[in-house]
Amino acid sequence: MKIDDSSILVTGGAGYIGSHAVLALKDAGYRVVVIDNLTTGFAWAVPEDVALVQGDIADQNLVEQTLREHHVRAIMHFAGSVVVPESVSDPLKYYGNNSAKTRDLIESAVRVGVPHFIFSSTAATYGVPDRSPIDEATPQLPINPYGMSKLMTEHMLRDVSIAHPLNFCALRYFNVAGADPLGRSGQSTAGATHLIKVAVEAALGKRDHVGIFGTDFDTPDGTGVRDYIHVSDLAAAHVLALEALIAQPRSNLVLNCGYGRGFSVLEVLDAVDRVTNIKVERRLEKRRAGDPASLISDNSAILAALPWRPAYDELSQIVADALAWERKLSDGHPSK
């Protein structure tokens, strides 16, 4: 339990991953303030006892006032745009929302003297790597503007941490899925494209089938393999990363976030069938542009750097929590 009056600023705290980080911080005893422009997030996703500042991370007056008023000692930065195909059709949105606005946010942090910064990076910064599992030294060669916009922020943070008294942690997420096991938050944005969300929607009759995007990959069953990580394990990693940055203010951290194992699309759909007791209809479809065959993390760095031990790393648990949240949305949760 933190007994001083400092806070952690969570940008994008009304969104999917950010709202889980808010819960994890609160559960660990931190004071939290959220800034979110609510374009994709929901005010109801922020707990009532957490201050919600509605606004933009690039509004430097607002951000700096918030940093000062709430005695912010660290920023967890989730706000941004996250849809890969959209980044291809509208790259300037991604370089604007993810790179340029983050530059302004970092500048505010430096001006006010916030010493720690935790950044949501992504395995998409690796592009289509020639090795598996993927460790942090794997060359970062993104194949879409989304990955590039996040890589640019990693570079900014590295340079800023040399020039100013700020250390940072970049967490490179693999495939994030699931929902808070206590049912307090989950993935709520409409128009989902991610496999587990799509599959539980299909199981609940919200769509009539799941497309399998490619069956001719060089993988054991021909479908794409991904390293799915439970959103609450990911949120826990953020709290531990924060504590590591505070303990070692001169060190930066760059860590993959995954479980170091992969499941194919067919294995995920089978798990959904088992958990729901419903057989979702599958339709074989063509590969999606830019989909690598397999993305599996080497997670030895995070296991060595942080006292992080995954608590929800069974695929069935990820699916069950995603399903429970989806049911809640169907039953008229405030998001409806």
CB 63 within 8 A of CB 108: yes
Q: Specify whether the CB–CB gap between 97 and 81 falls below 8 A.
A: yes
Q: Which residue's CB is nearer to ligand UDP, number 55 or number 292? A: 292
Question: Whole-number minimum distance, CB 249 to ligand UDP, in Å?
Answer: 33
* DSSP, residue by residue, 93-112: HHIIIIIIHHHHHHHHHHHH
Query: What minimum distance in Å lies between the beta carbon of 224 and ligand UDP?
Result: 2
- The answer to the question of residue 207 lying near ligand UDP (CB under 6 A) is no
Q: Pattern of binders to ligand UDP over 169-188, x per CB under 6 A?
A: ------x-------------
**Cα–Cα distance, 6 to 2 (Å, whole number):** 8
**Strands of the sheet with 263-264, listed across from one edge:** 263-264, 225-226, 294-295
Q: Which range of residues in 7-15, 55-63, 206-214, 247-255 is near ligand UDP by CB under 6 A? A: 206-214
With respect to ligand UDP, which residue has the nearer C-beta, 91 or 115?
A: 91
E strand or H helix that includes residue 152: helix 145-163
Residues between 278 and 307 with contacts to ligand UDP, criterion CB under 6 A:
288, 291
Round to whole Å and give the CA distance between 275 and 272: 5
C-alpha 242 chain-centroid distance = 16
Please, which residue, 20 or 116, has the CB nearer to ligand UDP?
20
Task: Report the residue closest to ligand UDP, judged by CB.
Answer: 224
Kindly tell me which of 132 and 161 has the beta carbon lying closer to ligand UDP: 132
- Contacting residue, 25, 109, 203, 265, with ligand UDP by CB under 6 A: 265
Report the residue number, 95 or 213, with the smaller CB distance to ligand UDP. 213
**Which is the catalytic residue, given 16, 94, 126, 146?**
146
**Residue 94 bears catalytic tag:** no
Hunting for tokens 């938050």 — which residue is that?
A: 185
Using CB under 6 A, pick the residue from 41, 80, 224, 258 that binds ligand UDP.
224
Query: Would you state the structure tokens that stand for residue 147, as one six-digit string?
Result: 């990955």
> Which candidate, 311, 262, 307, 258, places its Cα nearest to that of 135?
258
CA dist 185 and 159 (Å) reads: 35
Binding site for ligand UDP (CB under 6 A): 175, 193-195, 198, 210-213, 224, 226, 265, 288, 291
